[in-house]
Amino acid sequence: MIEISAYYFGAIALIMIGLYAVLVKKNLLKMLVGLSIMETGVNLLLISIGYINGKSAPILSEGIGPKQAVDPIPQALVLTAIVIGVATTAMALSAAIILYEKYGTLNIEEIRRLRG
């Protein structure tokens, strides 16, 4: 049986890795990958908050009543958050395509027409 803190540790580690990629990487696509990793970490964190050791998925079926299931609310939240994350990623990638067409590069140090 894994301790619950292991899940928290894993989730926060993912968030940190994602944040590092967003802040440090120069390539736009790598930054977007970082953003995705960060979102995944946050989703895992939410899921682990609702997790109760030894209980099953919150799907009402034979032998699984409200007492035998984990907290369903975080799972609903994560479902929503995943959908939102997909929309953001799709939006960001299409903007990246336009950027590559107009600037011919994905290096963020060269994409700097707006300044001041």
Partner 1 sequence: MNGQYASLLIAIPLISAFFVPVIKAASKKAVMPFLVLVTAAQTAAAAWVFNEVYTTGKPIIVMAGAWRPPVGINLYIGHFAALFVFIVAAVSFLLSIYNFKTIKIEPIDKYAMLFLLLMLGATGMIATGDIFNLFVFMEITSITAYALTAYNKTGEAAEASMKYMILGGIGSSFFLIGIAIVYGSLGTLNMAQIAQLAGSMNATAAQAGLALLIFGLAVEAELFPLNAWAPDAYQAAPHPVTVMFSAFVVKAGLYAAARLLYIMQSVGSWHSVLKLVVIMATLTVLVAEFSALRQRNVKRMIAYSSISQVGFIALALALGTQAGVDAGVFHMVNHAIVKALLFIAVGYVAVELGGAEMENFRGLGRRMPITAFSITIGSLAVIGIPMFNVFWSKLRIILATVDVGYTWAAALVLIASVVEAVYYLRLLHVIWFEGSGERITESAALGAIMLLLVALVIVIGVYPDYVWNLAQKAGADIFNVAQYIKNVPLMGVGA
Max Cα distance, the chain (Å): 64
The count of other CB atoms within 10 Å of the CB of residue 44 is 19
Least separation in angstroms between residue 88's CB and partner 1 is: 6
Give the footprint of partner 1 on residues 10-49 (CB under 8 A).
15, 18-19, 22, 28, 31, 35, 38-39, 41-42, 45-46, 49
69 binds partner 1 (CB under 8 A): no
64 binds partner 1 (CB under 8 A): no
* Binding-site string for partner 1 from residue 77 to residue 96, where x marks contact by CB under 8 A and - marks none: x--xx--x--xx--xx--xx
Least separation in angstroms between residue 63's CB and partner 1 is: 25
61-98: burial string, b at 16+ Cβ within 10 Å, e else: eeeeeeeebbeeebbeebeebeeebeeeeeeeeeeeee
5 binds partner 1 (CB under 8 A): no
Residues ≥6 apart with Cβ < 8 Å to 8: 45, 48
Q: Which two tokens stand for residue 100?
A: 């590559």
Q: Which of 35, 2, 42, 29 is nearest to 97 (CA)?
A: 29
Residues that bind partner 1 (CB under 8 A): 15, 18-19, 22, 28, 31, 35, 38-39, 41-42, 45-46, 49, 73-74, 77, 80-81, 84, 87-88, 91-92, 95-96, 98-99, 102-103, 111-114, 116
